[in-house]
Amino acid sequence: MLNQAVRLCAERKLAAVRALMWVPMTVLLVTVAVPASADPILPPTDLTLDDLVGSDLSLTSLNELVVFTNWAVEINGGSQDLEDYAIQALWDGFKITSEAAPMADVLEVVLSYDVMTLQENLALHTAGFTVIDSDRGITSMLEGFNPINQSILEDARVGKFAGSNLPFWNFTELTRSAAIVQTMTINAEEFGGEWIVRNRFKGIEVDHIPPPIPEPNTALLLGAGMIGLARYARSRRSPTS
């Protein structure tokens, strides 16, 4: 009887020790498993022009090399509701999609925005424009200006991209940022109210990006202003008679 009581007591102690050993492991497993099963919080991928125009929001390309800010738009011949025009980041730019917005025979969209590279040694090189599933019915004109308001996009040329014609423009000077004005004319007979356009911006790595050089007239005005300031400062320092 004594031996059985001792053996029973030992078995109960062993069971209690095993239970205590499993408690931390159970807590650890629960702690690790809960975050793994939680839904990740992801930023929204689809916006509309209504979200961007007149706001401080920016749109960054998926390769995180260029960012687009300071959006403004003017629409003629179609829906004035900016929520009808979805915008989404692409690998090297963005795309705009109409949401079957009602439109007249010809829709004109004037879109302006600033583009800037996110690396100090990356200069803007080319800007391209494509139309999904067609190279007809939509035309686009791009104008680009540097920080001192000089035109820095040359006339459009046409190249091949994914089997279709791709108009693209070259930047004529090394710059990290530019103000873009894009005018799109869309033929309703070709697309109806549904269309998709893509804008792509390519960069080039350089050793140094020089500051923009003012045009001659601007330089003359700046020089005259500096001379005037110098004369004013000298007159302030000279003793009065």
DSSP-assigned letters across all residues of 117-168:
ESSTTEEEEEEEEEETT-SSSEEEEEEEE-TTS-B-BPPPEEEEETTEEEEE
Query: Would you place residue 32 in the very low, low, confident or very high pLDDT band (cuts 50, 70, 90)?
Result: very low
Q: Residue 73 corresponds to which tokens in the numbers above?
A: 């738009």
Q: Which range has highest mean pLDDT (43-52, 85-94, 138-147, 159-168)? A: 85-94
Closest CA relative to residue 148, chosen from 45, 221, 240: 221
Answer yes or no: pTM beyond 0.75: no
Look at residue 106 in the predicted model and tell me its pLDDT: 79
Say which residue the tokens 């269309």 belong to: 195
Q: CA 54, CA 46: separation in Å to the nearest integer?
A: 17
Say which residue the tokens 């629960």 belong to: 30
Contact 183, 109 (CB under 8 A): yes
Contact 187, 221 (CB under 8 A): no
pLDDT in tens, 55-111: 999 999 999 999 999 999 998 887 788 988 899 999 999 998 886 666 667 788 899
Range name among 25-39, 81-95, 117-131, 136-150 with the lowest pLDDT average: 25-39
